[in-house]
Copies of this chain bind each other. A is one copy, B any other.
């Protein structure tokens, strides 16, 4: 993404374009960026073409909203600056309740191509299953923050005509028990579910049932 477009995207976010659809004239935008009306117009068009905002041009101004991708672009900048100015938090604690998933997590963890990497990255052999935590609404922003951190990368691979995608994991503890949080790469659907693996069967070890409240403390470094 070109640097000059960042400036415009940034200003539009400042004007509230992340949350709501805002109405703005290209000339007023231009004035606040010290650019010409024409350039402001072109920047908005280009950001639209790049899929970073959605634009509705009317004879009385432009209405626009940043897309999730546009917001994400700025969030990456934000998290980097946050790390610079605040220092990285060593821990991030997320709360939610135990829930039952579709059981597909277990399938993935059983794949030797993943399992071997988990052993190397985390230092334990995962129990062949995942625990799904349904996060409270207030915790979803923390989950997004987590997505911004590097973590430990689990590489994708192909096996038996199937391809398995890249993932990212973070060492963590769940109610004090060693585990790890696994984020499947770029699946923005399940923002409210956290998948946890562990050397032990967490449900039986901690006597968890659906609805039990748990705290997951994720190590960031």
Contacts and interface: CB of A to CB of B under 8 A. Distances in A.
A62 to B, nearest CB: 20
A85 B78 contact: yes
Nearest to A74: B81
A4 interface: yes
Contacts of A159: none
Interface in A1-23: 3-4, 6-7, 10, 13-14, 18
Interface residues of A, number: 20
Q: What does DSSP make chain A's interface, helix, strand, loop or mixed?
A: helix
A206 interface: no
B10 A7 contact: no
A221 interface: no
A3 to B, nearest CB: 4
A6 B14 CA distance: 17
A193 to B, nearest CB: 21
A82 interface: yes
Copies of chain A in the complex: 2
Given A4-B4, A78-B78, A13 B84 contact: yes
A31 interface: no
Contact of A81 (B4, B78, B86, B141): B78
Interface string A66-90: 0000000011011011111110000
Contact of A14 (B7, B84, B141): B84
A80 B3 contact: no
Contacts of A6: 3, 6-7
Given A3-B3, A6-B3, A7-B3, A18 B78 contact: no
Nearest to A75: B85
Contact of A84 (B4, B18, B84, B86): B18
Given A6-B7, A78-B84, 5 more contacts: A3-B7, A13-B84, A18-B84, A18-B85, A78-B82
In order of increasing CB-CB distance, the 9 nearest A-B pairs are A78-B81, A3-B3, A3-B7, A3-B4, A13-B84, A14-B80, A78-B85, A18-B84, A74-B81
